[in-house]
Every structure is written in structure tokens, then in C-alpha cells.
Amino acid sequence: MKKILLIIIGALNWMPGNAQWTAQTSGTAYYLYSVAFGDANHGCAVGNDTLTGTMVRTVNGGSNWMGVAVPTTSPFYGVSFPSVTTGYAVADTGVIIKTNNGGMNWNLQNSTTTHTLYGVYFLDTLNGYCAGTYGSILKTTDGGTNWAIQNIGTNHLYSVHFPTSMVGYAVGNAGTILKTMDGGTSWTFQTSGTVQKLRGVYFTSIDTGYAVGYTGTILKTMNGGATWTAQSSGITNILFSVKFISATTGFVTGTAGNILKTTNGGISWIYQGIGGNNTLRSVCFANASIGYVCGGAGTILKTTTGGVSTVGILENAAQNDFTIAPNPLSLQTTVSFAEEQKNTCLLITDVLGNEVKRQLATGKSATLDMTGFAKGIYFVKIVEDGLAASPTHLANRKMVVQ
């Protein structure tokens, strides 16, 4: 009977320089609410200290961030860059500002409202929407020279997204989801199936979309919002922002340093967060590889790998020697073997190779208890004759504790 050594290599929560997300120096301690990039190098993040707004800007992919002079002191909540040069930011008391030179200079626009604006989304440099308190939705078709306001007269709205020029969605308090099919001329209520406050919305197509909010809420629709189905996020923290870089791969951010990633359209969500008390308010991607997250205390994070870790060993899913289920897991999981085992050693190490747990297993399965272990990605290594000096076979799998 061959012996198999399982080595679980390192919890990969957040490791500067070579993990999924690396910290950047934003130059501000203000709370950053929103981040947007016109391309991989040019972007802005906006926020406030509850009383005064702030904006920082980069032209080199976040290697350096610099403060930006803006024509208002209102606290900022949202920013959108439909191109490298053209951008819009929204703030308290109906403030909207616009740049035509990549964020170097900004000018006030006449929004026609005094309601706080939280969400902003532009389809292109001319056509865009804002959403805010008391069901306010604003629309421009001329780059913000004129704004038309619709007061839906409902709960506060926090996010708006248009998958096409005519079809759009907005979300807000008490599970509110609104939909337009005529470019914002009229809006109808949808049944979300939740009373939780919804803070972010994103659609990958005219029919498929996601909404996120309080108590770890993630909702998905595949029929244009006719029905919304709850997905399991695995957490109960507030989720603020959602962004997809393909039909199946997406990211969600929230309180307690949470970053969640899915590669299967939300069937499962994998924890990639940095932990701690930092709230991560916004996520954006310039392309499939380069993305940014911003949040409390001036936090800005960047990935250049599409949220894929470059730490540790690579996963090899070609072998069928063992399976791990459930995966992701929260407390316990079962390791199942293709063949009967005798005196199999389950060895858990940290990223430095330090052993933190060991147990023996016999038979065709073993319960692996991860209670008390840090959330994050682990790599499970299976080695034939693993106790020998020269293992004859190697296969790797990824396991996630969330």
C-alpha cells in the first residue's frame, strides 16, 4: 500500500509583492469610496473625511498617487472614467464635477439637484447616469452640459449600471432594484427577494447581473431581473461593490477587508481579502489582469494577475488521487482518496514551511478540521511515497478557508 503525504502549503491572505493584491501608497488617510481607471495607468480615487472631499490621481498604474485640487469641498462618493481623458465624480448636495484632461483639472456641472449622489456610471463620454438619495436618478446625453432628473420617490439609491444604452439597473435601500428598458425615461421595480440594503450592481450582459449588499448578500439574475436568486458569499459582512471581468469571473469587496472572487458565475466565491478592520468600498478593472480596490484609511490595492496568486506552488488538477469537499470551507472539510490508505499523514504548514498541524488518516476519507485557521487560500499537495527522500509523483490542489 503506497503512503500519501498531504502538505497544505500556506495561507495566502495578503502578502505584499507577490500575492493576489498588493498595497499602494495613496498619500491620503481619507476614506476612499470609489476608484475608476480610464486605462491600466490613468485613474482617480475619491472619498472624504465625512466633511471634506478628497481626490487622488495616478498616471503610472499606482506607482505614485498625487492629490488633486477640486472645485468643491463636498464629500465625494463616486467616480467614473469612460475614457482616459474624460471623467466624472459625484458628491454630497448634488455636486457633479467633470474633467477633460485625465483628472488634472475639474469643473462643476449643473446637476439640477441638491440630493446626495452616490453612484455614477457612463456608457461613453457623453451618456451617463447618477443615482442618489430619495430615489434620485439623473441622466445626461451631452457630457453633463445638461442633466435631467427623475425622482423615483423611493429609497436611497447607491449604484447604477447599464449593460446597454437602453437597459439599466439601480439598487438601494430595503432590497430596492429598479430597471429601465428605455434609456432611463421610465423605471420599474423588481422583486429582489431581500430587504437588505443593496450597495452595488453590475451586469455582464443584458440578462445576467449581480447585486450585493448588507449581511453578505449576493443576488444573481439570469433573466433580466424577472427573478433574483441569492448566492452564498460565505460571510455576513457588508458588501459594497461588484465588478465582473468576464461572463464568469468577478469580484466583490466589503467590510473587514473582504475581497471575494468567483470564476464560475457566482456558484462559489473565494476569499481573497486582506483581513483587519479596513472597509474596501470599490473595485474596478482596467482589463482582465489589472484591477484596483480602494477603501478606508486611504487604502488602495492593485492586482496585475486578475486576482490570481503567484505565491507558492501551482495547482495541478489533472490527477484524481484525492478530492476536497466542501471547498471553499469554513470549519471542516473531507479529504477523499481514490484508494484505501494506511497511515496517511496530513501535514499542514504555513507559507514558510512551518508545521502547524498534523494528523493520521486511514481508509478512503479523512475529516480535516480547519477551525481557528486564518481565512485564505491554501494549496494541498499530494505526494506518492511522500515520506521517502525522493517522491515519485506530485499533484496539487487549491483549498479555500472562508
Task: Count CB-CB contacts under 10 A for residue 111.
Answer: 23
- Fold category of 22-303 in CATH: Methylamine Dehydrogenase; Chain H (2.130.10)
Whole-angstrom Cα distance, residue 46 to residue 361?
53
Provide the pLDDT for residue 377. Answer: 65
Comparing 4-13+312-401 with 22-303, is the CATH topology the same?
Answer: no
CA dihedral sign of residues 152, 153, 154, 159: positive
Query: Which amino acid is present at 199?
Result: R
Question: Under a CB-based contact definition with an 8 Å cutoff, are residues 113 and 131 in contact?
Answer: no
Task: Rounding to the nearest 10 degrees, give the CA dihedral for residues 385, 6, 303, 31.
Answer: -160
Do β-strands 117-122 and 107-109 pair in parallel, antiparallel, or remain unpaired? unpaired
- Does pLDDT of 9 surpass 70? no
Buried-exposed string 86-103: b where 16+ CB fall within 10 A, e elsewhere: bbbbbbbebbbbbbeebb
- Does pLDDT of 372 surpass 90? no
Which range among 114-118, 284-288, 395-399 shows the weakest confidence by mean pLDDT? 395-399
Whole-angstrom Cα distance, residue 375 to residue 329?
10
Provide the pLDDT for residue 315. Answer: 46
- The region, left, alpha or beta by phi > 0 then psi within -120 to 50, assigned to residue 16 is beta
- Does pLDDT of 399 surpass 50? yes
Provide the pLDDT for residue 334. Answer: 85
Provide the pLDDT for residue 10. Answer: 47
Whole-angstrom Cα distance, residue 378 to residue 380?
6
- Domains of the chain, by residue range, sit at 4-13+312-401, 22-303
Whole-angstrom Cα distance, residue 221 to residue 227?
6
Mean pLDDT of 83-105: 98
**Which residue has 485564505 as its cell numbers?**
376
Question: Under a CB-based contact definition with an 8 Å cutoff, are residues 364 and 339 in contact?
Answer: yes
CA 368 distance to own-chain centroid: 29
Which range among 12-21, 85-94, 143-152, 227-236 shows the weakest confidence by mean pLDDT? 12-21
Whole-angstrom Cα distance, residue 210 to residue 161?
10
For 149-188, the three-class secondary structure string (H helix, E strand, C coil) is: EEECCCCCEEEEECCCCCCEEEEEHHHCEEEECCCCCCCE
Average pLDDT, the chain: 86
> Taking the model in full, what pTM does it have?
0.76
- Domain 4-13+312-401: CATH architecture, name and number where available: Sandwich (2.60)
Question: Under a CB-based contact definition with an 8 Å cutoff, are residues 175 and 196 in contact?
Answer: yes
Provide the pLDDT for residue 34. Answer: 98
Whole-angstrom Cα distance, residue 183 to residue 140?
11
Provide the pLDDT for residue 371. Answer: 87
Question: Under a CB-based contact definition with an 8 Å cutoff, are residues 290 and 273 in contact?
Answer: no
Provide the pLDDT for residue 232. Answer: 93
Whole-angstrom Cα distance, residue 280 to residue 235?
15
Which range among 198-207, 245-254, 299-308, 379-388 shows the weakest confidence by mean pLDDT? 379-388
